[in-house]
Amino acid sequence: MAKPNILLTRIDNRLIHGQVGVTWVNHLGANLVVVANDKVANDEIQQNLMDMVLPDVISARYFSLQKTIDVIHKANPRQKIFLVVKDVHDALALKEGGVPIDKINVGNMHYEEGKKQISSTVSVDENDIAAFKRLHELGVKLDLRRVPGEKGRDIMGLL
């Protein structure tokens, strides 16, 4: 099995939006954005809205977590993949399913009741912390930053 050319994996509960669709895609030189999320994989309206944000030269695929696990290794080496997931649990499921994720950009996890804010854009609860710790144990580098030009921080030091 060939190793897919995954440039970066990003956790962002907004999935594809301006920051992801323009800033990160251009910074990485990606030509394909893969959104791995069970709900979005079956929501054509949300997919169409996200497609509008991307430049015409960038393709997007919307896969369930299992389909991502099943097909990511079949990616053409010319595909420069920016993998986007909604939360840390989706990222962990992919990693444990065999997707070769070495580094995760933690970009945005909205505040909700019961979560503590660890940065201006990231809030976590105990389940999130456990998932981040498991990813760390699996050797994944966890880099918290909103945009490419910002200095990244190791999320483990904030938990």
Q: What gap in Å lies between CA 27 and CA 20, rounded to an integer? A: 10
CA atoms within 13 A on the CB side of 71: 15
Question: At which residue do the structure tokens 């030091």 appear?
Answer: 157
Question: Is there a contact between 92 and 135 (Cβ–Cβ < 8 Å)?
Answer: yes
DSSP class of residue 2 equals P
Q: Would you tell me the crossing angle of helices 126-137 and 88-96 to the nearest 10 degrees?
A: 30
Catalytic positions, written as ranges: 17
CA atoms within 13 A on the CB side of 2: 11
